[in-house]
Structure 1
Amino acid sequence: MDSFEVVEICAGAGGQALGLEKAGFEHALAVELDRNACDTLHENRPAWKVALGDVASEDTWKPSDYEGVDLLAGGVPCPPFTIAGKQLGATDERDLFAWAVELAGTVRPRALLLENVRGLSMPRFAGYRQHVLDRLASLGYVAFWQLLQASDYGVPQLRPRFVLVALRPEDAPYFQWPEPVEQTPTVGEAIGDLMASNGWEGAKAWAKRANRIAPTIVGGSKKHGGADLGPTRAKRAWAELSVDALGVADEAPMRGATIPEGKPGPKLTCEMVARIQGWSDDYEWTFSGRKTTKYRQIGNAFPPPVAAAVGQSIMRAFKRVGVPQQRESVEHDPIYRVLRETDGFVTYNQLVRAVGRPIEAPELERRMSLLGQDFHIEVNEDKTLPAYKLGDFRAFVGQQDHDRHELFMKYQARIS
């Protein structure tokens, strides 16, 4: 039988790792910064090679040692792109997305899989996405972006993830995004047995009230307090499911338990949250550490069933299953493309011709402002209408003198 190996960066507690294992991949290496998550990986898969430390440091691992691995995968940090944050993108010291793309040039995997939050799919990052596609094309890969909903793959929660898959040209025609499953359980159906595990008489009635899928589980970061189920809007959504989102319980309600006045229902345990995140009898896993540590590991994970579905699609492409299809490349930012392809300054009229429609001055200024957050943009205002020239990408892609290193060391204790 064919054997396919994966190197996984920013592996976390193993959500993606377990899903890829289910898809048929064997782990050559998992790299993770958080010691508790590494303990979880060791506890569940003692045979795996796990490297603890900064994934971008060769003191942690040497990418060239894994040249030619079948799959390079990872869930790089999401705060640079999250809608709830500042969306600093390339200027965020935690941004490793562009670096991971460059890593493909060293490791030369047969395929690349990176996942992140929905924010990366927004107009704010159109230029960033276009840069990623162009860079992968220059490295010899055909790349695809797709926004996937975890609930389409049997995970009982609203958890959109923006996924990048890049393959070599001979494999790419056989890649298809996974098809959704026919049915996804509600929260009550998914964890009703856990809620009743200590004999609580109200569990059955509670499960009937928890009759929808959950809002997105929020893992939080080290710089914030203890575990809870998200911001105010998420807490309201949990309350509609009869769940108290102000914290996580140590155990399920006991026999004879009553809900305190003013509370919508019981709190969830880490085991319940893991079930909602996609761990189940089909995806068995245990977590190391105390309650808050466990919750963060669970909440920050890529749901195993989603990882398995994408991994299976990549595996089918490797095995050339199905009818090959030619795909047209999707352009994310024509203005960035024109700037990139033009030597010197680009005039307003050149941009209008490239985009194929008139561009009002305020719109052009807004687009340039967005691009300027991730790229150095030089502006020439000598003429009636300004002209623009694309400079360097601001993101960390492996530079020894990048600000990322100093900022990483300064804030390492709270990066998660």
Structure 2
Amino acid sequence: MMDGLGPEERLTAVEICAGAGGQSLGLHLAGFRHTLAVEIDRDAAATLERNLSRLAEKEGHEPPLVAVGDVADSSVWDPQSYTGVSLLAGGVPCPPFSIAGRQLGSSDERDLFAWAVEVAGKMNPDAVLLENVRGLSMPRFAGYRQAVLDRFAELGYRADWRLLEAKDFGVPQLRPRFILVALREEFAPYFAWPEPMPTVQTVGAALYDLMAANGWQGAEAWAKRANRVAPTVVGGSKKHGGPDLGPTRAKREWRSLGVDGLGIADAAPGPDSPADLVPKLTNQMVARIQGWAGPAYDWDFGDGRGRKTTTYRQIGNAFPPPMARAVGLAIASALRKEGHPAGDHGTRSQYSDEIYRAMREHGGYVSLAGLRRALAGTLTEEEIERRIEFLQQDFEIDVRQRGGLLTYRLGNWRAFRGQDDHARHEAFATDRLRSKIS
């Protein structure tokens, strides 16, 4: 077995679908240094490049390349040119799995999760970190998750998922994120998921100084009212209008905290504002809610350039930096083989799918009764049939009648993994897909 990295050895990272840099900053603070970041949105990429260049200049080394374009386009970057990095990380598009959307999974042309797994196979990093929305943790995507775990195992990794809450890592909002971490066999036993912080920060405590910055007399009373964490900040998409803090239900929650969620303010309330005003948040405040707080999390969004909506989307769609830092530190510790190799990462996942595994292991046509026997009767035939209906949304399932019984055979995964004939290519060629990516 090889020794882990020494404490002074640099951990390197390639980040895909990097956005404006929430995950980038968190990983930087965890000790990773980017060699490349890829992002399709030009405004977000400009923010990322500006800040990563500043950090590199401060540390006295060359800034990483920030490539702008479709991450799956071979003309934008070549994964095989970045083999052997310590970490492949990214926040691949969320709409295919979002509860607020149609949850099309593999049928959504924006889905890049399976593609990212194949990229890991080409790059051979020591670890992989991919984050997404809570929807991916639901029963609808059990087969999809299992296919990801199985493919990582074939590539020589131990992988597992965990649903983490931003509020547990010093961020004053709920923001559940579904995190996948995969590590090579030699590092996996040293990995442990980060533990929640003992205290939770409230919106009032986080934003009081910003609300009071222009002399508003109601700031102190407002902060006392805003005495809990915020609902999840919603970044929105290019298809919709200006920024606001989410759908109707979220706006009601913001209102109960004393915040007007119908838009973003240019500045904090001034001394002439009524003490009982229900203020809107500024982009600076939203960034604080997302975890950009304190000197270590200083980040320039260029908010003074008159592009409030663009800035809000960059902030609202981000992976909170403190959350990324916590997971990054856990991965860095594993790659340095710190502590005792007692962990069981990837050996028994609560997010596995026994139906998918049974059908895959069988290989041929199997009836509901046959699957029930394979599962030792832990599920009813009705439950198995429902789970197969979920699988049919992401996999080809051939159904045939044999001896008066319906039998099922698991076929190909519909997910985009880089296939030359996949519908995603046509969607991008016509710009139909680009306009849907937020």
Same fold (TM over 0.5): yes
Q: Is the 8 A contact 1:259 1:266 kept in 2?
A: no
| TM-score of the superposed pair, with normalisation by structure 2 | 0.92
Aligned to 1:275: 288
1:83 matched to 2:99: yes
Q: Is the 8 A contact 1:334 1:354 kept in 2?
A: no
Shift of 1:192: 0.6
Unpaired runs of 5+ residues, structure 2, are 1-7, 54-62
Shift of 1:115: 0.3
1:330 matched to 2:349: yes
Aligned to 2:368: 348
* C-alpha separation in 1, matches of 2:142 and 2:378: 19
Aligned to 2:206: 190
Q: Is the 8 A contact 1:110 1:168 kept in 2?
A: yes
Shift of 1:243: 0.3
Aligned to 2:435: 413
Task: Specify the code of the residue in structure 1 equivalent to 2:309.
Answer: T
Q: Is the 8 A contact 2:192 2:343 kept in 1?
A: no
Aligned to 2:325: 308
**Aligned mate of 1:169, from 185, 188, 205:** 185
Specify the SS of the correspondent of 1:16.
helix
* C-alpha separation in 2, matches of 1:259 and 1:341: 66
Residues 359-410 of structure 1 deviation map (CA, whole Å, 9 limit, x = unaligned): 4443233111100000000001233321100111011000111001122332
Q: Is the 8 A contact 1:13 1:38 kept in 2?
A: yes
Task: Specify the code of the residue in structure 1 equivalent to 2:434.
Answer: Q
Q: Is the 8 A contact 1:81 1:88 kept in 2?
A: yes
* C-alpha separation in 1, matches of 2:187 and 2:403: 49
Aligned to 1:248: 264
What's the Cα RMSD here? 1.3
- Give the aligned length: 413
Distance change in 2, residues 1:187/1:358 (3 Å) = closer
Residues 78-102 of structure 1 deviation map (CA, whole Å, 9 limit, x = unaligned): 0000111100001101100110011
* C-alpha separation in 1, matches of 2:143 and 2:42: 35
**Aligned mate of 2:389, from 345, 369, 387:** 369
Question: What pairs up with 1:282-321 in 2 under 5 angstroms?
Answer: 282-288=296-302, 290-321=307-338
Aligned to 2:37: 30
Q: Is the 8 A contact 1:335 1:354 kept in 2?
A: no
Residues 300-357 of structure 1 deviation map (CA, whole Å, 9 limit, x = unaligned): 0000000000000001001111111252322611110011112221222320122221
| TM-score of the superposed pair, with normalisation by structure 1 | 0.97
Runs of 4+ in 1 over 6 A off after TM superposition: none
Distance change in 2, residues 1:358/1:201 (3 Å) = closer
Q: Is the 8 A contact 2:369 2:381 kept in 1?
A: no
* C-alpha separation in 2, matches of 1:250 and 1:406: 40
* C-alpha separation in 2, matches of 1:170 and 1:48: 28
Aligned to 2:127: 111
Aligned to 1:92: 108
**Aligned mate of 2:218, from 191, 202, 206:** 202
**Aligned mate of 2:173, from 157, 161, 166:** 157
Specify the SS of the correspondent of 2:311.
helix
Unpaired runs of 5+ residues, structure 1, are none
Shift of 1:259: 7.1
Specify the SS of the correspondent of 1:152.
helix
